[in-house]
Amino acid sequence: MSFFAELDFTVVWEYLPALLNGLLTNVTLTVLGFLAGGVVLGTLLALANLSPLAVLRWPAMMFVELLRSTPLLVQAVWVHFAFPMVTQVQTTPFQSAAIALVFNVAAYCSEVIRSGILGVPRGQYEAAKALGMPRRVMWWKVIMPQALRLVVPPLVGSVISIFKATAILSVLAINDLMRVASRVSSYTFTPVEIYTVAALLFFLTGAAITYAGSRLEHGLKRGGR
């Protein structure tokens, strides 16, 4: 009990703006990873994986397997330290973190999207062809809308995983919540108080994402009926 009595959370109020600013970095990376990686690049990889052209299918498959078989931490460190040496293009810690996260998320979400496309009944393809639809129209008007309804729930569920993964990227010294918490706790000598508040901020944000995702899924189910 004496240990808890010695805790002083009043110090948190002074540094709360800095902690919230760090949390904003995590949220920004989450949004960027989900939209650019999960939705855009993930869809392109899924379509390439399903392509009858080996020149598109094999590179996409190798990319997905490589990213899914290595830790995000390793990918982030490689992008930040090795990528500039290979390409002669310098990146900031935030840019390196964003690139690594986008590619990692794309690899995982592409498999979700690919499964959704494969989940569309074969009869839908045959019916579209029987109506004489061009291939582009068939995909845009028939296949993708049905696949979207299948992949949205698992994709929304992946957002919370992306958000939690952003904490790993503090290793690149980006100004995220964990990095800020580490600096503040070292300066104030109050690690228990600072990290407790950091954990609470992560929890509240994660709970908000989960709630928003469940509401979206509920809305899609009602729309489907």
Calculate ∠ Cα 18-23-24, nearest 5°: 95
pLDDT digits (tens, 9 = 90+) for 27-54: 999 999 999 999 999 999 999 999 889 9
Q: Please report which confidence band the pLDDT of residue 220 belongs to, taking 50, 70 and 90 as the band edges.
A: low
Which is higher by pLDDT, 113 or 11? 113
Dig out the tokens for 38 from the structure.
Answer: 């999960």
Residue type, 70: T
Q: What class, spelled out in words, does domain 2-224 have in CATH?
A: mainly alpha
Q: How far is CA 148 from the centre of its chain?
A: 18
Alpha-carbon gap, residue 18 to 164, rounded angstroms? 19
Which ranges in 41-92 belong to alpha helices (H)? 42-49, 54-68, 72-81, 83-87
Distances (CA, A) of 40 to 66, 79, 107, 187, 217: 19, 20, 11, 41, 20
pLDDT at 224: 55
110 burial (CB, 10 Å; 0-12 / 13-18 / 19+) is buried
Q: Are 90 and 136 in contact (CB under 8 A)?
A: no
Question: Would the pTM of this model clear 0.85, i.e. be above it?
Answer: yes
Closest by CA to 157, choosing from 213, 219, 220, is 213
Write phi, then psi, for 51 (nearest 5 degrees).
-70, 140
Closest by CA to 164, choosing from 36, 6, 10, 26, is 26
Residue type, 217: E
Q: How far is CA 15 from the centre of its chain?
A: 28
pLDDT digits (tens, 9 = 90+) for 127-148: 878 878 887 778 888 888 888 8
Q: Please report which confidence band the pLDDT of residue 151 belongs to, taking 50, 70 and 90 as the band edges.
A: confident
pLDDT at 216: 78
pLDDT at 126: 81
Which helix (H) or strand (E) segment is 156 a member of? helix 144-165
Give the whole-number percent of the chain exceeding pLDDT 90. Answer: 57
The secondary structure of residue 121, as a DSSP letter, is: -
Res. 162: pLDDT tops 60:
yes
Dig out the tokens for 47 from the structure.
Answer: 């379509």
Closest by CA to 78, choosing from 181, 7, 171, 154, is 171
pLDDT at 165: 93
pLDDT at 62: 96
Whole-number CA gyration radius for the chain: 22
pLDDT at 2: 59
